[in-house]
Homo-oligomer: A and B are copies of this chain.
């Protein structure tokens, strides 16, 4: 950690990359906590002033609940509303409870409507009303309109603040309009050309407008077939489109093709990262937990996944119990059997992860499905044979029984082959059934490799060694 004072000072960007070039510095957190502890409001405000709202939110997430409450109270009515949009849900709810109504009312008034929607959508109706009542009528209506759309759809993600021009305007008309317009969106990259019925005729990038003479017709400069986002499109599809087509902003249209809003890349970027994180956590049997969740929330959230795993572990045990007599005769089998199951589980997880990711990024499709399944089967069989030779030798050396080495080797080939096949076929099947393959694949797949691993190894042993 560095002891340099951070903040939005251009000089600091010139210092060497130390792996913590951004974000909060431990010394800073300590100083802020000391100010909170001492009840030194001026000092606190001075320390918070240079922080970006996202960093302040991280700070609130990282300190304990008691410090959090003290900090919010000490911060008082200078509280920055943008921090609310950067907080994760659990911490945000705590902060909302601590904030006094007047501060909250002030904090929300300057927010953009898409941030407001993000802020209130998870709140209970009563809390929603408390926030909405502080807004100006236009903003409140915009937020309420967005909340009419389904969760996790473009309607919730879009902003209603946009610059729309009639298609017959010139560059000069557009510039004059923007100069005269008091309330332009905070960030916008394109002007949208729409006709009287609000149908999108095209979009013109600001850079393009800048590069042309005042008398140039906007229509001449426009991208006349921009990708339009249907207002009911899922977050996932929106993020995919932005990422795939390197989009910066896109008009959102309703079922009748009328322009209702605009989505910008920063929103899409957030969704894209969330989706990747979600898949990663689902694969590991973790829901949408956050690092700031309490012990109770975390334990409760993880319990169901462990319970499912317990069931599959018991299924595997049942398979073993079929061979109790075999194990009683040759105890070495009990020593070696976890190796086959473990290797199968790992090989399957490798295949599974690649498959889940490829499904999410739409790199695994009907066009290559058969080839990928064949590949995974061959990879499984290939590595199966390689490891069969290794463990076969290990088995012989360790226990001095050549046939035990053969059993171990053959079981390994079988299980790695099955691991490859189930690692690809199970997520594909779940995806086809409309189930998120990241959610359920892991359990199915490791159950298969445990059962097959124990059954193949102990079954072969019973047949060949007794």
Contacts and interface: CB of A to CB of B under 8 A. Distances in A.
How many monomers of this chain does the complex have? Answer: 2
Interface string A325-362: 00110011111111101110011011011100110001
Given A10-B228, A244-B22, A346-B285, A339 B364 contact: no
Contact of A230 (B14, B226, B227, B290): B14
A311 to B, nearest CB: 10
Nearest to A296: B382
Query: Considering residues A294, A342, A343, A372, which has the most beta carbons from chain B within 10 angstroms of its beta carbon?
Result: A342
Contacts of A206: 189, 206-207, 210
A285 B350 contact: yes
Nearest to A59: B367
A179 B309 contact: no
A368 B63 contact: yes
Given A23-B244, A245-B54, A210 B362 contact: no
B306 A320 contact: no
A276 interface: yes
Interface stretch (A40-48, A116-124, A384-392): A384-392
Nearest to A458: B334
A13 B230 contact: yes
Given A52-B244, A209-B210, 5 more contacts: A23-B244, A189-B207, A210-B210, A281-B354, A295-B382
A287 to B, nearest CB: 10
A378 B64 contact: no
Interface string A21-35: 111101001000000
Nearest to A175: B210
A17 B237 contact: yes
Contacts of A435: none
Interface residues of A, number: 150
Nearest to A434: B19
A196 interface: no
18 contacts: A10-B228, A16-B232, A19-B234, A20-B362, A23-B362, A26-B367, A175-B175, A178-B211, A181-B211, A184-B211, A273-B273, A283-B284, A285-B346, A291-B364, A291-B368, A299-B379, A313-B339, A338-B338
B316 A338 contact: yes
A205 interface: yes
A244 B55 contact: yes
Contacts of A364: 291
Given A281-B354, A387-B310, A378 B295 contact: yes
Given A185-B207, A266-B246, A276 B284 contact: no
A348 to B, nearest CB: 10
A257 interface: yes
Interface of A: 1, 8-11, 13-17, 19-24, 26, 29, 52, 54-55, 58-59, 61-64, 174-175, 178-179, 181, 184-185, 187-189, 200, 205-207, 209-213, 225-230, 232-234, 237, 240-246, 248, 253, 255, 257, 265-266, 268-270, 272-273, 276-277, 279-281, 283-286, 289-292, 294-295, 298-299, 302-303, 305-307, 309-310, 312-314, 316-317, 320-321, 324, 327-328, 331-339, 341-343, 346-347, 349-350, 352-354, 357-358, 362-368, 371-372, 375, 378-379, 382-383, 386-387, 390-391, 394, 450, 454
Given A211-B184, A354-B281, A391 B310 contact: yes
A367 B63 contact: yes
Nearest to A372: B291
A312 B346 CA distance: 12
